[in-house]
């Protein structure tokens, strides 16, 4: 369908990278037209998120020679997106972002195929993600990044000496922007730190001290947070504040206005109230463009080897002038997500139900509502109801039997983790070993390898 000679001007700049040798290239780089064609034919890239950054990424990847793209996003287009999410028009408001973004890029860049997925990232099976050569993230939430990171790390396998196996690497490129600041990073689970290894890079939001809010408010934001964090609980005992409920937001706004009048503080508006309560940071189109370009180049480097990839975290700051910096972070060898997996030793008689209970009490995991899969087979699924019904009878069967009596293997578990009030979907890779028959396995595995 795509004619590689139809648009010489489009591949001109790409050819300078792909057709010529160089001294900064990656170890397996073989320049030539075949390489360019291979990227078109074989490289399959998933873009996660079709918002400000996602729109840029799809366009950049399409223009960089990638022809097999898919995009996943659960949101619909809103009027407030239109200033920067440039693939969308006024008549698209209300339509799924992924679908419109895919259609627009395909209209403009011939030969590119983009498959949209209008759903939550958790709705896709692991198999869906395993299909891609590279996953590029254009997300604005830590939870979603963390989830995709765990998905990519779940494909990683270790040999019997705990060395990561290269053929199971699922590279990711993560972009993120916040106002005039942004980052681009390359994550190769098993090689570079994964998102979870460096989760401390995303510190919890700094809130105002409660005493300032209660006693000495000085800014409009202080008045809003007073209404949101203190006054709400005083008046609505036990009722959780919902930032997406306009009635709740309106209540906080009018309380903040009263508070501001009392202290003679100007500037409380409804939109500022939303901004403070939901912690909205204005999105800047140029930051998205710069970060997307950096991410796309990294994806191209991973796919082609035309240059060594970023090692491994680039930050961009355009607040005053322009500053970029690359930092090489290191892996956390005890990481729950990209490491070989938490080891759980069980008796062969332990039923699946008891295993699931054990995950909830496990101090490192604290994983509740667990669904369990082994080698792609659903052992127990909490949802949807059909699958729960189909797998319920397994709960009373010994896990050892459900795992076909293998002495030791990887099990994937999805569920929610975290403290109450801050539960997150998560995916964990566990190493389950059955007591008493370990020795036999390890000798068997060593012999087989």
Could you list the active site residues?
A: 211
CB of 29 to Zn ion, least distance (A): 28
- What SS3 state is found at 226? helix
How near is the Cβ of 51 to Zn ion at its closest, in Å?
26
**Short-list 160, 137, 166, CA closest to 149:** 137
Pairing of strands 323-327, 134-138: unpaired
Taking the least distance from each CB to Zn ion, the nearer of 168 and 307 is 168
Compute the half-sphere exposure of residue 353: CA atoms within 13 Å on the CB side of its CA: 7
Nearer to Zn ion, 60 or 174 (CB): 174
The distance of closest approach from Cβ of residue 335 to Zn ion in the complex, given in angstroms and rounded to an integer, is: 3
Written as six digits, the tokens of 403 are 């795992």
Judged by beta carbon, residue 338 or residue 402, the one nearer Zn ion is 338
Compute φ and ψ for 77, nearest 5 degrees. Answer: -75, 135
Q: Which is nearer to Zn ion, 97 or 145 (CB)?
A: 145
Indicate the residue among 195 and 355 with the shorter CB distance to Zn ion. 195
Distances, alpha carbon 239 to alpha carbons 242, 259, 274, in Å: 9, 21, 19
Which tokens go with 10?
A: 């489009």
Q: How many CB atoms lie within 10 A of CB 42?
A: 11
Residue number with CB closer to Zn ion (87 or 197) = 197
Q: How far is the CB of 277 from Zn ion (least distance, A)?
A: 32
Q: How far is CA 258 from the centre of its chain?
A: 40
Going by C-alpha positions, the residue among 47, 85, 50 that lies closest to residue 285 is 85
Locus of tokens 């799809």: 58
Strands 44-48, 68-72: pairing kind: parallel
Q: Which residues pair with 373 in a beta bridge?
A: 378, 412
Smallest separation, CB 310 to Zn ion (Å): 18
Tell me the three state secondary structure of residue 257: helix
The answer for residues whose C-beta is within 8 angstroms of residue 313's C-beta and 6 or more apart is 183, 184, 185, 198, 326, 327, 328, 329
Nearer to Zn ion among residue 197 and residue 283 (C-beta): 197
CB of 236 to Zn ion, least distance (A): 40
Output 194 or 433, the one with its CB closest to Zn ion.
194
- Provide the binding-site residues for Zn ion, judged by CB under 5 A: 194, 196-197, 335, 337-338
Order of strands, sheet of 408-417, starting from the edge strand that comes earlier in the sequence: 342-346, 424-434, 408-417, 367-374, 377-380
Among candidate residues 166, 133, 129, 131, the one with its CA nearest the CA of residue 148: 129
Least distance (Å) between residue 233 CB and Zn ion: 37
- Least CB distance to Zn ion at residue 186 (A): 14
* Cα–Cα distances in angstroms (integers) from residue 140 to residues 145, 179, 281, 369, 442, in the given order: 8, 12, 11, 26, 43
Query: Within its chain, how far is the Cα of 161 from the centroid?
Result: 29
Whether the Cβ atoms of residue 156 and residue 338 lie closer than 8 Å to each other: yes
**Residue 12 is encoded by which pair of tokens?**
């001109």
């Amino acid at each position: 369908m795509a004619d590689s000679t139809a648009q010489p001007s489009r591949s001109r700049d790409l050819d300078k990278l792909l057709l010529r040798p160089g001294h900064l290239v990656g170890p397996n780089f073989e320049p030539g037209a075949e390489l360019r064609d291979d990227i078109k034919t074989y490289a399959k890239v998933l873009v996660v998120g079709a918002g400000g950054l996602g729109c840029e990424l799809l366009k950049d990847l399409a223009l960089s020679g990638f022809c097999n793209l898919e995009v996943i996003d659960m949101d619909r287009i809103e009027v407030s997106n239109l200033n920067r999410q440039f693939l969308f028009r006024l008549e698209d408001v209300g339509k799924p972002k992924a679908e419109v973004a895919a259609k627009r890029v395909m209209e403009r860049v011939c030969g590119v195929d983009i498959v949209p997925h209008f759903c939550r990232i958790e709705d896709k099976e692991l198999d869906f993600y395993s299909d891609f050569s590279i996953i590029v993230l254009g997300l604005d939430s830590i939870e979603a990044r963390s989830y995709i990171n765990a998905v990519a790390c779940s494909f990683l396998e270790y040999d019997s000496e705990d060395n990561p196996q290269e053929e199971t690497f699922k590279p990711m490129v993560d972009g993120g922007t916040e106002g005039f600041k942004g980052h681009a990073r390359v994550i190769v689970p098993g090689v570079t730190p994964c998102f979870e290894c460096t989760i401390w890079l995303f510190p919890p939001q700094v809130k105002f001290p409660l005493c300032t809010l209660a006693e000495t408010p000085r800014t409009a934001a202080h008045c809003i947070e007073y209404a949101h964090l203190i006054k709400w609980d005083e008046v609505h005992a036990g009722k959780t504040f919902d930032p997406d409920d306009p009635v709740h937001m309106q209540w906080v706004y009018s309380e903040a206005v009263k508070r501001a009048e009392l202290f003679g503080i100007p500037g409380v508006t409804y939109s500022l109230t939303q901004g403070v309560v939901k912690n909205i940071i204005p999105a800047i189109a140029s930051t998205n463009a710069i970060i997307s370009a950096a991410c796309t180049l990294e994806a191209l480097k991973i796919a082609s080897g035309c240059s060594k990839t970023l090692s491994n975290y680039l930050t961009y700051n355009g607040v005053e002038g322009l500053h970029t910096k690359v930092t090489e972070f290191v892996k956390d060898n005890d990481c729950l997500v990209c490491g070989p997996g938490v080891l759980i030793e069980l008796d062969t008689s332990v039923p699946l139900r008891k295993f699931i209970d054990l995950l909830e009490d496990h101090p490192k995991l604290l994983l509740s509502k667990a669904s369990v899969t082994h080698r792609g087979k659903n052992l127990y699924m909490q949802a949807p109801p059909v699958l729960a019904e189909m797998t319920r009878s397994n709960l009373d069967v010994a896990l050892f039997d459900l795992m076909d009596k293998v002495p030791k293997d990887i099990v994937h578990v999805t569920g929610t983790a975290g403290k109450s009030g801050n539960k997150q979907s998560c995916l964990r890779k566990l190493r389950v070993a059955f007591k008493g028959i370990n020795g036999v396995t390890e000798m068997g595995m060593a012999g087989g390898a």
